[in-house]
Amino acid sequence: MKRFRPYRISQEIRDQYADVQIEISDFIYPYFVTEGENVKQAIPSMSGIYRFSIDELLRDMEELTVVGIDKVLLFGVIDDASKDERGSAGFSPENIISRTVKAIKARFPQTLVFTDVCLCEYTSHGHCGLLHNHDVDNDSTLPLLAEMAYQHALAGADFVAPSAMMDGQVEAIRQRLDQEGLSTKILAYSAKYASAFYGPFRDAAGSAPSFGDRKTYQMDFRTKNQGLEEIAADVEEGADWIMVKPAMSYLDMLYRASQQFADYPLVAYQVSGEYSMLKNGAAQGFFNEERIFFESLTAIKRAGANYIISYYAKDFARL
């Protein structure tokens, strides 16, 4: 008989044998930014998460810095009246994300700023690219994504993070940044699945598609190797960091990506639905909130993620 229980006899011994450690520096904290002043609007589908105007976001970031989180990912939320077919508000020089990046960099120069690059938050139809004959057209979307990435980079973003799942988006952005002489890095949402777990986010960002779904561009979760092919393509096109999204139901893909692309920092996105599921379950008394998040975030790290985007990051760091 092999005895395992000696590894578990006390908290200290268990700590000694723990292979996986979560560090505060692993976390990237997502923020939803909206127009106005003094806005801190609770998001009903995501308990504990808010839409902030820039001034309030800076105030919230004080807390973030205190607990040691030094990476943020920004999403823009604009009202329907400001949206159009092309998502122009997302890539105009005065777009909300560029203004936010400048404000963050002025106040928190040490914080790494990642910006989401996608059209769905800014188009009147809520799809991630331009429409043509009622479907999302790949190639005509690329210059718009490149323009958005350029604007974010110009404002001082450290990483632009294309999430539209258009083929060639990383290459288009890389070329544009090179042309402009910008050395901004690219975090590619490489293996991004068409997932029901994004439900709460679409509420939060007002980015639900007005018709159809995202299955013609986001990945089919019934595939196995395609995710690795997507990552390989992004690496080829010039991605600096790569991502698997969602995280908790895709630990196998995280593990395989970490094995096959060991040289590339791997990011896992614990998405809105994963967050809300745990958060609401805990609120209802089904499980202990701290413990359930500790366990799920550890599993994501154990599977091979180097960084984790999580709405729980601030609470986790506080504990």
Q: State the nearest-atom distance from the C-beta of 106 to ligand PBG, in Å.
A: 26
Residue closer to ligand PBG (CB basis): 73 or 155: 73
> What is the nearest approach in angstroms of ligand PBG to the Cβ of residue 179?
24
Residue of this chain nearest to ligand PBG (CB atom): 201
Assess whether 245 carries a catalytic annotation. Answer: yes
Instruction: State in angstroms the smallest separation of the CB of 15 from ligand PBG.
Output: 31
**Any contact of residue 114 with ligand PBG (CB under 6 A)?**
no
Please tell me the total number of residues recorded for the chain in this structure: 319
Contacting ligand PBG (CB under 6 A), which of 118, 144, 186, 267? 118
Binding to ligand PBG (CB under 6 A) within 3-62 occurs at none
Per rule CB under 6 A, is residue 198 in the interface with ligand PBG? yes
Site for ligand PBG in 215-274 (CB under 6 A): 271-272
Write down the residue that tokens 């057209």 correspond to: 137
- List the catalytic residue out of 71, 192, 301, 314: 192
By CB under 6 A, the residues from 121 to 160 that bind ligand PBG are: 121
Q: Cβ of residue 51: shortest distance to ligand PBG, in angstroms?
A: 14
- Is the CB of 85 or the CB of 178 nearer to ligand PBG? 85
| Side chain identity at residue 116, one-letter code | D
- Tell me: does residue 116 bind ligand PBG (CB under 6 A): yes
Q: Residue 129 class from Cβ within 10 Å (0-12 exposed, 13-18 middle, 19+ buried)?
A: buried
Q: Which of the stretches 19-27, 118-126, 252-260, 276-284 binds ligand PBG when contact is defined by CB under 6 A?
A: 118-126
| Closest alpha carbon to 70 in 27, 36, 118 | 27
**Site track for ligand PBG across 268-307, x = CB under 6 A:** ---xx-----------------------------------
Token pair in block for residue 114? 């990642």
Question: Does residue 163 belong to the site contacting ligand PBG (CB under 6 A)?
Answer: yes
Q: Which stretch binds ligand PBG (CB under 6 A): 9-17, 117-125, 147-155, 250-258?
A: 117-125
CB closer to ligand PBG out of 164 and 303: 164
Rounded CA gap, 217 and 198, in Å? 15
Calpha distance 25→127 (Å, rounded):
33
Q: Which is nearer to ligand PBG, 259 or 316 (CB)?
A: 316
2: annotated active-site residue: no
Of 71, 83, 245, 314, which residue is the catalytic one? 245
Q: Residues 71, 77, 82, 85: what is their CA dihedral angle, to the nearest 10 degrees?
A: 80
Q: Which residues sit at the interface with ligand PBG, rule CB under 6 A?
A: 116, 118, 120-121, 163, 198, 201-202, 214, 271-272
Give the residue numbers marked as catalytic: 192, 245
